Amino acid sequence: MFPILICYFAPTQQTTQNRIMKNFIRDIGIDNLPNDTITIGDDLTLVPINSHTLSANNHKPQKLSHALIAVYTSGHCHIRINLNDYDVESPMLLTLMPGQIIEWVEHSPNIMGYAIALSKRFIDMLNLPGWQQQYMAMYNNPLSIITPDTMQPLRVFYAILYRAAEDTQNPFRLQVIENLIRVFYYGGLGSFHAPTQNTSSIKNSIVERFMTLVQEHYRSQRLISFYADKLCITPKYLSKLVKENTGRSAGEWIESYVILEARAMLQSADMTIQQIASTLNFPNQSFFGKYFKRATGISPKRYRQNNK
């Protein structure tokens, strides 16, 4: 789907692929890694690919472990993001966040572009100001049209990034890449996904920590009080801050993560409904069924039948 894919991943050795890398490559629909893959230590891999390397049968929802910024320069594809359908028509920018559930449905034979995939650990290390607002903007609006005026800077940025990654003689090339990503964030990404609200740094900090906690604990913790205790504030104040910054209450965010995960699991035939209920820390299948039906208006069994 993309001629070049850049992936930051958890520690591995230079000459081997670890499980995280293999899973991520599979999840984004790539069958085989090209021979000219470039790896930089434990943090960076460049993977030149084209439509011939893509899976023709990758129609199963997958949860992303990385962020993905993709620029499509030709062709089109159809994907589902959090079980919602999107048509990507080039030229277009696609941004996906860790934790989102994607399903690559189909792509045209002439699909081309390039993408940058960043691990959550790498993003946290960059310490980008205002990241939570950008995160929410990209989470809710994954697609942006690329104009001729913005395409050229994107091409230049990618060319510089690629050259930096190729420079094996530079002992600071990873630091160069980090700073290039910061430049892209400051000067480019914001123009595609501009936050709609201005809030104080302390509010953003609390909301950002809440969202991180939800992503880490939603499978086992569904009470607002759990997250409020972690943040040393009251549940009422937490809900107020989250609502002001995101337009959704804290309870709605927690529920959305649980239901999204449940829907993805139900679309897979690998797990029984009882196993799904157990994985999501419900006391029993009946309790899970009531929770799911209250949120979606349909029982888990009926949802699975409708989405076979």
User: Per-residue pLDDT for the chain (308 aa), expressed as one digit of tens each?
Assistant: 434 444 443 333 344 445 665 666 666 666 666 666 666 655 666 665 566 666 665 566 777 878 888 888 888 888 888 778 899 899 999 888 887 888 888 888 888 888 787 877 778 888 887 776 677 778 778 998 888 888 888 888 888 988 898 898 998 988 898 899 888 888 766 556 544 444 444 456 788 889 889 988 999 999 999 999 999 999 999 999 988 887 788 999 899 889 988 988 888 767 899 999 999 999 999 999 999 999 989 999 998 888 76
Domain boundary among 192, 221, 243: 192
Domain boundary among 170, 192, 214: 192
Domain shared by 162 and 270, yes or no = no
β-bridge partners, 48? 4
Contact criterion met (CB below 8 Å) for 29 and 104 = yes
Domain shared by 225 and 85, yes or no = no
Domain shared by 158 and 10, yes or no = yes
The domain containing residue 222 runs over which residues? 201-306
Could you give the CA distance from residue 167 to residue 77 in angstroms, rounded to a whole number?
33
Domain shared by 182 and 283, yes or no = no
Q: Which pairs count as long-range contacts for 134-138, CB under 8 Å and 24+ apart, including other chains?
A: 134/185, 134/189, 134/190, 134/193, 134/195, 135/97, 135/208, 135/211, 136/195, 136/245, 136/246, 137/193, 137/194, 137/195, 137/196, 138/95, 138/97, 138/193
Q: Which pairs count as long-range contacts for 13-21, CB under 8 Å and 24+ apart, including other chains?
A: 14/39, 14/41, 15/39, 20/65, 21/45
Is pTM beyond 0.75? Reply is no
Domain shared by 170 and 33, yes or no = yes
Number of domains into which the chain is organized: 2
Domain shared by 160 and 108, yes or no = yes
Domain shared by 23 and 157, yes or no = yes
Domain shared by 26 and 84, yes or no = yes
Domain shared by 214 and 182, yes or no = no
Domain shared by 12 and 131, yes or no = yes
CATH number at residue 77: 2.60.120
Domain shared by 140 and 69, yes or no = yes
